Copies of this chain bind each other. A is one copy, B any other.
Amino acid sequence: MSRVFRLIISCPDQVGIVAKVSAFIAERGGSIVEANHHTEVNERWFFMRHEILATSLGNDLPAFKEAFEPIAKQFNMEWQLNDSDKPKRIALFASKESHCLADLLYRWHEQDLPGEVACVIANHDDLRSMVEWYQVPFYHVPVSRDTKPEAFAKTEQIIEQHEVDVVVLARYMQIIPPNMCRDYAGRVINIHHSFLPSFVGAKPYHQAYERGVKLIGATCHYVTEELDAGPIIEQEVIRVNHAKNIDDLKRLGRDVEKITLARGLRNHLEDRVLIHGNKTIVFDL
């Protein structure tokens, strides 16, 4: 993979944004690897993502950033300019179930995840050996009703110490406290084991079994204060039938959860996910 700079823009829509931005890139000799636009017509809002070959810009991100500043101001842009050579640092939160954690660690180990796993934090000690085989720091931070505030204070301290960019709840069975939801808005990703908005909350496979659905699913979404209601990044389903019991649903669902989380996280790590209200634009050509 060649080094690229990723320019991510969201701003009020008007004629001339694309022209301005692409002229700016072209004048500097920037070679565009991938470009995506989207306009929310009703709300007249515009979204854009460019991948530009870093060598074509002299590998000089700060210069490019400084030069772009006036355009950003002119169009009232929210924007980011990220360097693929500075991959996002990930904290994986886990509990006892290992499938999502193991899947992400494996992908990272195989250089298949465009990010850096900085640490694992778990409220049980069960998965320590697996994590340590990958030579990733493992923190056991138990959480009980009484210790929750201290536990999360410690948790936040660990992720700050590791300069974490994104927290992934890899079947972490604790509810993130509201203040952490706010502090890390758009940076905490959860995998919920149902096709949301069906089966919010606890035991979704039991709920799915009781309702007799013919497909079960998983949802990768950003965490907000309202449980299982944040912006959806990715969803996937698998067919089931009357012959499947709850254990079968769990077993089949694990594969769906792993894939849904890995895809959603991958898109986040490559700056392909733009949040707009409670929805996402996902430029995942």
Q: Would you call B106 and A110 a contact (CB within 8 A)? A: no
Answer whether A235 and B214 are a contact pair too, CB < 8 Å, given A242-B280, A245-B41. Answer: yes
Q: Would you call B38 and A243 a contact (CB within 8 A)? A: yes
Q: Please classify how large the interface on chain A is, using the bins under 10, 10 to 19, 20 to 34, 35 or more.
A: 35 or more
In the complex the two chains form, what is the Cα distance from A25 to B37 in whole Å? 15
A89 CB → nearest B CB, Å: 22
Q: Would you call B242 and A213 a contact (CB within 8 A)? A: no
Q: Would you call A196 and B217 a contact (CB within 8 A)? A: no
In the complex the two chains form, what is the Cα distance from A39 to B52 in whole Å? 12
Asked if A102 CB lies within 8 Å of chain B CBs, one says yes
Residue numbers in B under 8 Å from A262 (CB-CB): 255
Contact residues of A between 192 and 250, Cβ < 8 Å to B: 195-199, 211-215, 217, 231-237, 241-243, 245
Asked if A253 CB lies within 8 Å of chain B CBs, one says no
Answer whether A56 and B15 are a contact pair too, CB < 8 Å, given A37-B32, A242-B279, A243-B285. Answer: yes
Q: Would you call B214 and A232 a contact (CB within 8 A)? A: yes
In the complex the two chains form, what is the Cα distance from A197 to B199 in whole Å? 8
Answer whether A22 and B18 are a contact pair too, CB < 8 Å, given A242-B279, A285-B241. Answer: yes
Q: Would you call A235 and B213 a contact (CB within 8 A)? A: yes
Asked if A151 CB lies within 8 Å of chain B CBs, one says no
Q: Would you call A255 and B245 a contact (CB within 8 A)? A: no
